[in-house]
A and B are shown apart, each in its own frame.
Chain A
Amino acid sequence: MSDRMLTMAEAVREAMSIAFDERPEVFLLGEDVGIYGGAFGVSADMYHRYGAERVLDTPIAELGIVGAAVGAALAGMRPIVEIQFSDFTAQAMDQIANQAAKIHFMLGGALHVPMVLRTPQGSGTGAAAQHSQNLEPWFASVPGLKVVVPSNPADAKGLLLSAIDDPNPVIFLEHKLLYKIPGRDSVPVGSGRIPLGVAKVVREGKDLTIVATGIMVNKSWEVCEKLAAEGISITLIDPRTISPLDMQPVYESVEKTGRLLVVQEGPSHAGFINEVIAQMAGSSSFGSLIAPIKRLAGMNIPIPYAPQLEKAAVPQIEDIEIAARDIVKNWR
């Protein structure tokens, strides 16, 4: 069997299935993950393949779901929690931030919380302000949580397997719009892992470095292709894990290009991508910059319901294209 093109939903399901087959202590719990197959169909037939004991439909009670998972993890299980929309993690935040993230440290390393919390995030589905947020910085600012933001099916599979292996909590943020889209690259068969905390240089160029997360990697890729035709060559870096953050490839690239554009979907104010800018500004690579660092991020507003406004609230391909071209043309 050779590598295939999968959607992110299929790749995540495949990773969960491999983990289920490898370790009996792995199980999935969440609202409608069983018979219904999950709000976005990610766990599809897993209930039928693994049974009701390993694919648990829960009540609508996020705090209870994550609390149960933390308890199970402390008792030696490896729970995968699915929260239907990342917005609903607000209900479970005490278990996530105050319990899961801290237990290992407060008990001097005596116990682990090997829990993965998977949840769909992001706008673009017309689901309005309470079902469309990008909450990356909520999790990335809590020490003790690792935060993964996959941008494509192959990475999602390898990173989720590593997240399940990890002895402490990992938040796995999947973009809704990527669930149904096949990636550009095929997904390897087998149980290969992609380590957490290692950024990926998606493509290399000499004029500009773009650092983007999640769906913005895909949008930036389109811009790289388009501007390549105009003679502008761009390095695109996907951190993949936003906590911990691997800045080394960013430094190395900016030392070559001298120009940095960062792109995230979440609101600009105190957003995750600002961390990339802060670390760059404080690094020895700062002196390589030949242009001010440019940031593209969502507007500081709740995601609007009207489709045109929803689109306008987060960076689109065209915004990235204009910003990238401007930096390269205006700063020489």
Chain B
Amino acid sequence: MSFKYPVVMPKMSMTMETGELIGYHVKAGDSVKTGDVLFEVMTDKIDMEVEAPADGVIESLVAEPGAVIDIGKPVLIMLTETQIMAFDFSGDEAPVVAQPVALAVVEAPVPAPAVVLNNDVKAVPKARVEAAKRGIDLRTIQPTGPDRTIMMADINSAQADPAVRKRQAANKALIAKGIAMGREIPQSSFSRSVSTNFDHARLISSWARILRSRPDLSIRPQVGVAVIIESKYGSALPVFKDPDLMSLADLTSLISSTSSAAVNGKVPLEMLSGATTTIFDLTSYSMNAATPLLFPNQITSVTVGYESATTRNISLTIDLRYCDFYDGAQLLDALAASL
């Protein structure tokens, strides 16, 4: 089943509204592989190559080279066997799946969403035993284990409540959307080692206090620290607002109550927005470090990793449009000093 998929002018910065098509790297009828360069675009800030989101064939080139195109408008159309998740850049609605009907000229009837079979199955032994026992086709299971291996958790969640699965999927899509937007931001990361004698309250409060002294690094007057928490429905991102203005004891109890609520997917509504920075603590996974990713409308992001029994690795990512290398180094230094 082929889907028509429009490859659109991407949004590459928070302020971008249009982009100029410099030229094509493909012509109609070409076969392309995921990652092949399709065309180049230019904005007031950067030039970028746009890559094929899936394997397929170029059906038609829609725009003329040199044309100025609104973001989200098609540049070329490709035919693909794969269903592709598209992002809606215009608002905050949930992401939408590219619908073949949108372009009208698809083979009728409109196909039911194809189940993408994962033919290259890797699974832990117990997952194979359980799949056989429960009559599950492992090719239909989404692997979330290391090296895309199917774990028992994947088998169990495949049979979980559909409502839970729907929320998990929506959650992942939302975060993916944010990260996809953030990826285009020019950014840089710094990291350093600190000793372990701090807890979450201390970390959140210290970081908020540092950011409060830098109102130029926030799009809001308040400081909102989003903390990534693992929940039944995937990652939850409760936002602690002005945590540096609370006592450490109050903050500790708020973190604790929010975490237990978040695990069950019950983050209070007022804690779901207003983030100006994000903290991701990987310590309990013994991860040494991860490059923190910027979410839309945030200029900074911090990751804490396990380094040794007595030290942690703190990484900071900054949006270079608002914050230069010295700022970044100073911010991280200040955070380390305050811990």
Contact = CB atoms under 8 A, between A and B. Distances in A.
Given A292-B124, A318-B308, A326-B286, 15 more contacts: A258-B126, A258-B152, A288-B126, A289-B124, A290-B126, A290-B127, A291-B124, A291-B151, A318-B309, A325-B285, A329-B284, A329-B286, A331-B124, A331-B145, A332-B153
Nearest to A258: B126
Nearest to A226: B309
A287 B129 CA distance: 6
Interface in A311-326: 318, 321-322, 325-326
Contacts of B309: 318, 321
Interface residues of B, number: 17
23 contacts: A258-B126, A287-B128, A287-B129, A289-B124, A289-B125, A290-B126, A290-B127, A290-B151, A290-B152, A292-B124, A318-B309, A322-B286, A322-B306, A325-B285, A325-B286, A329-B285, A329-B286, A330-B145, A330-B285, A331-B145, A331-B151, A331-B152, A332-B151
Interface residues of A, number: 18
B113 interface: no
A208 to B, nearest CB: 13
Contact of B126 (A289, A318, A322, A330): A289
Contact of A288 (B125, B146, B306): B125
Nearest to A327: B286
A318 B145 CA distance: 24
A138 interface: no
B130 to A, nearest CB: 9
A30 B87 CA distance: 78
A287 B126 contact: yes
Interface string B251-266: 0000000000000000
A322 to B, nearest CB: 5
Nearest to B230: A329
Nearest to B154: A332
Interface in A215-231: 230
Contacts of B126: 258, 287-290
Interface in B151-174: 151-153
A105 interface: no
Contacts of A289: 124-126
A209 to B, nearest CB: 14
A332 B152 CA distance: 6
Contacts of A321: 309
Contacts of A287: 125-126, 128-129
Interface string B122-145: 001111110000000000000001
Q: Can you list the 5 inter-chain pairs with the closest CB atoms, starting with the nearest?
A: A287-B129, A332-B153, A290-B126, A289-B125, A322-B286
Contact of B125 (A286, A325, A329): A286
B146 A330 contact: yes
Contacts of A330: 145-146, 285
B285 A326 contact: yes
A286 B127 CA distance: 11
A331 B122 CA distance: 13
Contacts of B153: 332
Contacts of B308: 318
Contacts of A258: 126, 152
B312 to A, nearest CB: 13
B125 to A, nearest CB: 4
